[in-house]
């Protein structure tokens, strides 16, 4: 029986100023080949990949960039030809793309009131990009539509004016399918597993987020504002891929999502989240030094929320392995943290990449296999009325022996960080990770329920 106690432990090590890892040309060639192979398996003549600032991951997977404040399309043909359909202010990026391409200018993808005086219609431009009659096309947005009812293969999350133009370009004889799964199907999508170069590329963000989160945790004090704490979550000028959270007391007053001028008070609930490509770190606990400072109604928080949640995270980490089916992990968390009592409702764990939530192989009765090269975020969110949440969301990777050898030989500094993190987790937190589970975040398993007590955390005995 796992025994959880609140004990004195040193804080985890963090690493500042580590260099980013650029994706190699070999990795980009491998990505394109992976997508083309899946297109062939699905009988597609071309794949139309949509992108905007919020939904650019599939496009960036092949091109190396997102279209920032515009929309864009990548038309990838089964022959390997790539056509970029770009607005006014992204035309210059085509020359820097990570795959050979030709460019079609679509001014309708530009910002409002910019020049839109192209002499051809959007359907005509798409014809010039190779969207022509008689072809079978896959449309890739960013959603996997699942469930009962509508034919999910005919549901598209591209803007209607683009889908309409595609249909017109095909003169009524195109076969269209939702092909987002080529990229993010949790059981075999091209983007769901990573090579050594990609893991090293993404570990930069996981390290950055977890370093920032620990810095911010240590700065929390009564009288400081949410903004003061949130400023510590902005790291190295990198773009966040979720809304930053630094929220004290009750959240969402006046529908506000962002850090405000609200001052921290002793006894407050506190939530903290930051995320970059490759990793999110999140914490939720109380602004107190010990249980005696809690309001009477929540004085048992440690026993009824924090410890059961921590036990579920330990179970998740110690049972995670290559070859496990997503449904097995879901059932395991249901056993140790019953949903009916703890009211979690999202998938207990999901994949990360450029996005904070790529997709999830973990769900009820899921047959999706956990594979070497997957990067997963611990994401179990308990909710008990009246109590603060408990959260230690962080990122790990699954790596078989061959992938671990490549990481150790090709990225020795990264490997040293992984080894140090594993040693800390085992020696100080008491969590014993399988060999194939590699902590990408510095704070994996580190739960401080009392934010003003920087010397104690929950540990396994």
If asked whether residues 229 and 373 sit together in one domain, one would say yes
Mean pLDDT for all residues in the chain: 95
85: domain CATH number is 3.40.350.10
Are residues 173 and 197 located together in one domain of the fold? no
Q: Which of 121, 155, 178 is the last residue of a domain?
A: 178
Domain boundary residue, one of 138, 154, 178 = 178
- The tokens for 365 are 């009765």
Question: What are 272-298's pLDDT values in tens digits?
Answer: 999 999 999 999 999 999 999 999 999
Are 129 and 274 found together in one domain?
Answer: no
192 burial (CB, 10 Å; 0-12 / 13-18 / 19+) is buried
The number of folded domains in the chain is 2
Q: Is 274 helix (H, G, I), strand (E, B) or coil?
A: strand
Q: Among 39-53, 117-131, 397-411, which stretch is predicted with the lowest mean pLDDT?
A: 117-131
Residues 392-418: what's their mean pLDDT? 98
Q: Per DSSP, what are the bridge partners of residue 140?
A: 49
Same domain membership, residue 354 and residue 456: yes
Tokens of 28: 């980009």
Identify the three-state secondary structure at position 447: coil
- Same domain membership, residue 275 and residue 224: yes
Tokens describing residue 132 = 């022509």
pLDDT of residue 364: 94
In a domain, 354, yes or no: yes
Give the C-alpha separation, 322 to 326, whole Å.
Answer: 11
Q: Do residues 223 and 107 share a domain?
A: no
Q: Do residues 221 and 363 both lie within one domain?
A: yes
Q: What is the CATH number of the domain that holds 337?
A: 3.90.230.10
Does residue 35 contact residue 48 with C-beta atoms inside 8 Å? no
Look at residue 444 and tell me if it is in a domain.
Answer: yes
Do residues 65 and 159 share a domain? yes
Pairing status of strand 391-393 against strand 437-439: unpaired
In the chain, % of residues over pLDDT 70: 99
Q: Give the domain extent around 240.
A: 4-17+191-460
Both 248 and 141 in one domain: the answer is no
Q: Is residue 31 part of a domain?
A: no
* pLDDT for residue 1: 62
Distance CA 249, CA 152 (A): 41
Note the pLDDT of residue 277: 97
Mean pLDDT of 65-86: 97
Evaluate if residue 189 carries a pLDDT over 90.
Answer: yes
Q: Is the pLDDT of residue 355 over 80?
A: yes
Residues 230 and 359 grouped into a single domain: yes
Residue 216 counted as domain residue: yes
Please check the confidence at residue 149 and state whether its pLDDT lies above 60.
no
Q: Do 102 and 203 sit in the same domain of this protein?
A: no
Report the pLDDT value the prediction gives residue 92, as an integer from 0 to 100.
94
Distance CA 191, CA 440 (A): 18
Mean pLDDT of 346-365: 95
Query: Does residue 123 sit in the same domain as residue 252?
Result: no
- Residue-level pLDDT at 153: 83
Residue 30 covered by a domain: no
Mean pLDDT confidence for 382-406: 95
The residue among 148, 178, 208 that closes a domain is: 178
Please tell me the distance from the alpha carbon of residue 246 to that of residue 260, in angstroms, as a whole number.
Answer: 8
Q: Considering the domain boundaries, does residue 431 fall inside one? A: yes
């Amino acid at each position: 029986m796992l025994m959880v106690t609140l004990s004195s432990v040193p804080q985890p090590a963090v690493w500042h100023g580590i260099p980013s890892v650029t994706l190699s040309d070999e990795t980009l060639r491998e990505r394109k080949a992976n997508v083309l192979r899946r297109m062939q398996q699905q009988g597609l003549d071309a794949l139309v990949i949509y992108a905007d600032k919020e939904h650019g991951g599939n496009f960036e997977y092949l091109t190396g960039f997102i279209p920032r404040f515009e929309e864009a399309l990548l038309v990838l043909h089964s022959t390997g030809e790539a056509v970029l359909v770009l607005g006014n202010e992204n035309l210059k990026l085509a020359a820097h793309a990570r795959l050979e391409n030709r460019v079609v200018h679509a001014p309708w993808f530009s910002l409002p009131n910019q020049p839109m005086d192209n002499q051809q219609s959007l359907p005509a431009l798409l014809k010039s990009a190779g969207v022509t009659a008689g072809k079978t096309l896959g449309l890739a947005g960013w959603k996997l539509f699942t469930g009962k009812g509508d034919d999910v293969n005919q549901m598209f999350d591209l803007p209607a004016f683009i889908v309409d133009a595609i249909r017109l370009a095909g003169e009524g004889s195109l076969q269209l399918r939702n092909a987002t799964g080529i990229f993010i199907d949790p059981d075999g999508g091209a983007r769901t597993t990573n090579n050594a170069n990609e893991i090293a590329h993404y570990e930069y963000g996981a390290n950055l987020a977890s370093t920032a989160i620990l810095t911010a945790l240590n700065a929390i004090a009564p009288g400081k504002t949410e903004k003061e704490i949130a400023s510590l979550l902005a790291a190295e000028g990198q773009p966040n891929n979720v809304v930053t959270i630094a929220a004290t007391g009750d959240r969402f007053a006046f529908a506000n999502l962002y850090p405000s001028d609200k001052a921290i008070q002793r006894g407050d609930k506190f939530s903290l989240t930051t995320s970059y490509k490759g990793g999110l770190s999140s914490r939720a606990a109380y602004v107190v030094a010990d249980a005696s400072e809690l309001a009477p109604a929540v004085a048992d928080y440690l026993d009824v929320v924090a410890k059961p949640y921590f036990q579920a995270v330990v179970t998740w980490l110690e049972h995670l392995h290559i070859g496990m089916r997503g449904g097995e992990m879901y059932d395991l968390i249901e056993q140790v943290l019953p949903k009916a009592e703890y009211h979690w409702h999202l998938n207990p764990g999901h994949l990360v990449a450029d996005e904070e939530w790529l997709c999830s192989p973990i769900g009820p009765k899921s047959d999706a296999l956990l594979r070497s090269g997957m990067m997963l975020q611990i994401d179990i969110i308990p909710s008990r009325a009246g109590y603060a949440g408990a959260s230690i969301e962080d990122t790990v990777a699954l790596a078989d022996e061959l992938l671990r050898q490549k990481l150790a030989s090709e990225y020795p500094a990264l490997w040293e960080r992984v080894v140090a993190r594993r040693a800390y987790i085992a020696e100080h937190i008491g969590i014993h990770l399988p060999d194939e589970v590699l902590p990408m975040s510095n704070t994996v398993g580190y739960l401080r329920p009392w934010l003003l007590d920087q010397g104690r955390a929950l540990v396994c005995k």
